[in-house]
């Protein structure tokens, strides 16, 4: 399947990596590579991530971060990249 990052996911990723790079550029580069690898795996096996309460979204952990994505007909769309401790309103418990 094709893989696409939404603008919001790219902004999330930029913010996360910039923050980490302030203290450790190598750690930011390693995280970027891990996220890239995970996204490629998701594109190959889209249903490997855990379903969320909002039925159209799935999530996949990468270290302390989550890739939140949607499986389309011919593409996987990554909507968010966020810290695992941070909940979206639709994930409230």
Task: Quote the pTM value.
Answer: 0.86
> 15-72: per-residue pLDDT in tens?
999 999 999 999 999 999 999 999 999 999 999 999 988 888 999 999 999 999 999 9
- Check residue 23 and give its pLDDT: 96
Handedness of CA 64, 78, 91, 19 (dihedral sign): positive
DSSP line for 2-53? EEEE-HHHHHHHHHHHHHHHHH-HHHHHHHHHHHHHHHHHHHHSGGGSEE-S
Tell me the domains of the chain and their CATH numbers: 2-86 (3.30.2310.20)
> 58-87: per-residue pLDDT in tens?
999 999 999 999 999 999 999 999 987 776
């Amino acid at each position: 399947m094709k893989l696409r990052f939404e603008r919001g996911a790219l902004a999330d990723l930029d913010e996360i990596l910039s923050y980490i790079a302030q203290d450790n550029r190598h750690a930011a580069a390693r995280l970027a590579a891990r996220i890239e690898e995970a996204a490629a795996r998701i594109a190959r096996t889209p249903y490997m991530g855990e379903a969320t309460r909002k039925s159209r979204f799935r999530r996949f952990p990468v270290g302390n971060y989550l890739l939140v994505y949607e499986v389309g007909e011919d593409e996987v769309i990554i909507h968010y990249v966020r810290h695992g401790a941070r909940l979206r309103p639709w994930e409230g418990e």
